[in-house]
Structure 1
Amino acid sequence: MRSAGIARLWSRQRKDLTAQFSDIARAAVAQLSDGVVLDGELVILVDGRLSFDASQRRLVTAPSKARRLVASVPASYAAFDVLAVGGVDLRTQRWSVRRSRLEQLAAGWSAPLQVSPVTADIGEAREWFEVLPEAMGVEGLVVKGAGLRYVGGRREWLKVSSGGVGCVRLSE
């Protein structure tokens, strides 16, 4: 969330993660306009693979010591949804509309901010499912309905992982 020239990063559990991910907060201040609220995931790559351990180290490190980790193990932010632009709440809009707006916003972004890839092509999704877990350590894919509106506190999507299908109810 960026407001009044500052950016704050919040976990799903409403924990402020700004100090632990100050590199992402600085990038958000530089690249986002006030009133933009994104939904996404903080990720860290180690040797080209997603590292849950490196992310966890950042999360549990005291803010005073986080600066060293920021310098030695930089993070990225993969945005997959936009919830507000210019302070206007977009959650009532269908996902396809929000995604289009997110892609417009992201046209001017550079690392460490990025947009998560999407596809409506089932063949491409199958290829991602087969290749990405081994190549990058991706745990699975998320399937969303293009007509869905954002409902806070509920996951109305389907996570397909190498261990099978996770919970969720899809609705239009």
Structure 2
Amino acid sequence: MAAAFPEVVAGAVQLPDATALDGEIIVWSADGRLAFEQLQNRLHRRGPTAVQATAQQPAHFVAFDVLRLAGTDTTAWPYQRRRAALDELFHEHRLSAPWALCPSTTDPDTVHE
């Protein structure tokens, strides 16, 4: 998938070495909605056409978990600790596109809404 999403690969320089995030690659439509068809279109591009697509249909990686952080396996950590580490990673490294942090809450009213 790296060949189809060079902007995500290039964005990896923002992460500490030996870090693995769990999440999804997405493409937004012009009206701010998820554009699955555009994502599928990006999957088949390689080389110059993939690079060209980064300007027309930029991909983002929405992170919702951290599996390895600077070489430390975090999979045995409770989710709340992993989420705190993920929030801190985004804050400390000022991660920006193509990275996006998936919203998270434990507030029952927000969950219901």
Both proteins in one fold, TM over 0.5: yes
Aligned to 1:71: 55
Letter in 1 for 2:107: D
Identity, % of aligned positions: 36
Aligned to 1:122: 108
Where in structure 1 are there 5+ consecutive unaligned residues? 1-16, 128-172
TM-score by length of 2: 0.90
- 1:44 and 1:21 map into 2 onto residues whose CA distance is 11
Deviations 1:105-132 (A, max 9, x none): 00021222121001112221222xxxxx
Q: Flag the structure with higher helix content.
A: 2
- Three-state SS of the structure 2 residue aligned to 1:77 is strand
Please point out which of 18, 26, 29 is paired with 1:43.
26
Aligned to 1:85: 69
Superposition RMSD in Å? 1.2
Shift of the alpha carbon at 1:64? 4.5
Letter in 2 for 1:126: H
- 2:74 and 2:63 map into 1 onto residues whose CA distance is 15
User: Greater RCO between the two (CA within 8 Å, min separation 6)?
Assistant: 2
Please point out which of 38, 56, 66 is paired with 1:54.
38
Number of residue pairs the alignment of both structures matches? 110
